[in-house]
Chains A and B, each alone.
Chain A
Amino acid sequence: MTTASASVSWRRYFWWNTDHKVIGVQYIVTSFFFFILGGALAGLVRAELASPATDLLDGATYNQVMTNHGTLMIFLWVLPVLAGFGNYLIPLMIGARDMVFPRLNALSYWMIPPAGMLMIASFFAGGAEAGWTAYVPLSIGGPPGQTLWALSVMLLGISAIFGAINFLATVIMMRAPGLSIWRLPLFVWGMIATSTLILTATPVLTSGLIMVALDRVVGTHFFTVTSGGDPVLWQNLFWFYSHPAVYIMILPAMGIISEIFPVFARKPIFGYRMIAMSSMAIAILGLTVWAHHMFTSGMDPRLRVPYMVSSMVIAVPTGIKIFSWLATIWNGKLRLTTPMLFALGFISMFLIGGLTGIFLAAIPVDLHVHDTYFVVAHLHFVLFGGSVSAVYAGLYYWFPKITGRMYDEKIGRTHFALNFIGTNLAYLPMFIAGLMGMPRRVAAYDASFTSYNQWATLGALILAASTLPFLYNAVLSWARGPKAAANPWQALTLEWQTSSPPPPENFPEIPTATGDPYDYGEPSPAAEPAAAPAAG
């Protein structure tokens, strides 16, 4: 690459560009900015909760900080960063030159900065303070920022829908010759499942947000009891999207993990078809569980049991994945690189999130722990211990591909260690606080919960510190790190079969897929060098 084209390539990240790799990086870097912002808000929350009384933030300000923390982390960090991976990787992994709709792809990215600015602006217009769940009627009577908040979330939802259409169409239309669906990398399977969920569920949230905005601005009465409206309707509309949203945020993350284990264990993925089908099963089941967030609401008591059953059944495909990953590393030749450490950390922490989900699905226990710190802990083990660990694993794993340079292993391991300790320290004590009686979303609490909260605040401090080595490593290595080979990990998926970084349009010549993407390992003497898909 010449100096001239290098400087062009540096600037193109800041402008309209239809190359999926540029858009992918734009997604990832933009959402990381919001991650830092959301993290700063979490820091304020933990600082306030370091002592039982409200000393740093008053009740209303605390609610604004907490609301914007949750909204930023979900809608402007985890969702878009995973869409960023999808953008960067899907065309490369399926041997395509770009997404099927490159301009729609650029549009879906460029809706995010304005939506993010709208969200930040809402904070200064009397911020939204009804939580990311925005329950009516609290959110109807809230300050003006709540309307901007709703508009921002609507925009982000539309952006996600555009992205999902593009991912699905690209996988259906643009696969390289020979790349049958049973040869697709598992990350692509994760994105198929996630995109299906986005297309099914997001429109329901958008319609609910339009109703909230109309109630606030035009004076309609969708949710006003005295005029015949129904506040529980909002909970149904909201959770019909927002529970699947958890799977939208975890399925691509599981896909990343499934890419990393075979490469660094030097073994094929164990049970390829079962993992792929589990992703689809989670997506479909995920659409049938939303009312488990409403066990304490006024919903018809008889309706609760089916939701309990469907919620528990999700443990089965989730378990299949965890056992398959364990079997993948079993008897392997593990290379404990930074991405591998984050992937191992993913399993160990996501497991805690998954197991505590069973407690929440069991209605009698849920009636005690619902809306408590037990839920806060569960959610953060799934989304922070789970999704964010996988995002970090993916950032390190594909760093050489994206930047053409290697990151520093030693700093990467330091980052992992701080992140792992910080996560467990921050969220484990919250389980006990919740069980013992601490409600969530409180700016003050009973003095008996002090020690749990102080441990959590210490953990949050370590988590904040853990981002520094990451940023240092990423920036410095991108600028000055040693040049990366095309395939530094000796991986078999197609994105590694082109230069690092890949040229425009990805491949000098469209590759032909001839076999299993995870055909690692010493074949037993009898077996053919697998040209056939993996055994299920």
Chain B
Amino acid sequence: MRERTLFISAIVGIGLIAAGFAVATQANVMPPEASTRAVAVDQLFRILLGVSTVIFLLVEGALVFAVLRFRQRPGDDRPGPAIHGNTSLEILWTLIPAAIVVVIGVYSFQVLAAIEVPGLGPRVVEVVARQFSWQFRYPEADLATTELHLPVGQPVIFQISAEDVIHSFWVPAFRAKRDATPGQISELAMTPIEVGRFPIRCAELCGAGHAIMTSEVVVESVEDFDAWLAEQQAMANDPAQIFLTMGCGACHVLTVAATTGTIGPSLDDLPGVAGTRLAGVGAADYVEQSILAPDDFIVSGFPPGLMPKTFFQRLTPDQIERLAAFLLDQP
């Protein structure tokens, strides 16, 4: 009897470990591994998945077996055996999970220590979050954009901040996320290792447009990246580019800029209506005032308080003037 129990336990044990190994190595439930972090995190994830699979199958298997095997048969009114406990068994199922937890904890700590260290000579990219758009600044090039470009294989440190509420900068393909909290700058380091376009999503509820607060990171060769940087610098004073970079399109329709946001009023009819909104205020003055102090006049049907009031800091008077002229000069 004892020999038979041992034999069955051994077979079940081997089966469970095989199943855990198969799930850990074969499961494909993650986005591409596009950064150094992703490789280390996925390794840990697979080990957790394998261990969990073994425990899952063990417990669910025991449960199903018990239900099938130990059902009360019709006509059998006898109770089960009066077993109140078994000290060695209880010590065993305290110590084994504790040991597993210690191993997982130590390994997780090692992975954490490894992924948080920036590579040599990292490029700083400032990430600025606001309702409901992302802005990326390249201090070395004195440039701000809404699309994130990174050269493949070069270490980067994101310095993440927010202008209004808490957001969270998340690139699933990088397996990395960091909250953008007003009043502080959080750092996130990694090295992109795969060329391609990967989604950026806001992971912290930030208001009505949380779901659409998305962007894209373009990981490209060093040559492509340098060419893109030069092109962006050339466009920095183009008002259409300012419109896009400031994230205006997340909330406003502007057909000439191909934006479709509906949180705020459409700007397509601005040339016709801007001069009529406030008595004695000309069209250009009205538009500039609406950019700087948006709550002074609210288009009916839209709630006050949603549009950021920080543009006086982020744009020069000259840029605001160009932007207003651009909005009033649509075909």
Contacts and interface: CB of A to CB of B under 8 A. Distances in A.
Contact of B164 (A54, A137, A362): A137
Interface stretch (B60-68, B280-288, B320-328): B60-68
B206 to A, nearest CB: 6
A305 B48 CA distance: 18
Contacts of B211: 54, 59, 439, 442-445
23 contacts: A59-B212, A59-B263, A63-B208, A135-B165, A298-B181, A301-B116, A305-B109, A309-B105, A312-B101, A315-B97, A315-B101, A320-B90, A320-B93, A326-B63, A362-B104, A368-B175, A371-B170, A371-B204, A436-B29, A436-B31, A520-B82, A521-B79, A523-B82
A169 B248 CA distance: 60
A534 B85 contact: yes
A441 B210 contact: yes
Interface in B72-106: 72, 76, 78-87, 89-90, 93-94, 97-98, 101, 104-105
Contacts of A443: 210-211
Contact of A316 (B29, B48, B101): B101
Contacts of B178: 296, 367
A441 B166 CA distance: 14
Nearest to A335: B72
Contacts of B170: 371, 439
Contact of A441 (B78, B84, B205): B205
B40 A270 contact: no
A356 B60 CA distance: 15
B272 interface: no
A266 B80 contact: yes
B80 A520 contact: yes
Contacts of B37: 364
Contacts of A536: 85, 87, 90
Contacts of A120: none
Interface of B: 29-31, 37, 40-41, 44-45, 48, 52, 55-56, 59-60, 62-63, 66-67, 70-72, 76, 78-87, 89-90, 93-94, 97-98, 101, 104-105, 108-109, 111-112, 115-116, 164-166, 168, 170, 172-173, 175-179, 181-184, 186, 199, 201-212, 263, 305
Interface stretch (A177-185, A345-353, A409-417): A345-353
Given A270-B86, A364-B111, 6 more contacts: A268-B83, A298-B181, A312-B101, A329-B66, A334-B71, A523-B82
A138 B166 contact: yes
A327 interface: yes
Closest 5 CB pairs of A and B: A225-B183, A437-B172, A521-B82, A442-B211, A59-B208
A362 B108 contact: yes
Contacts of B112: 304-305, 363-364
Nearest to B207: A138
Interface in A472-513: none
A93 interface: no
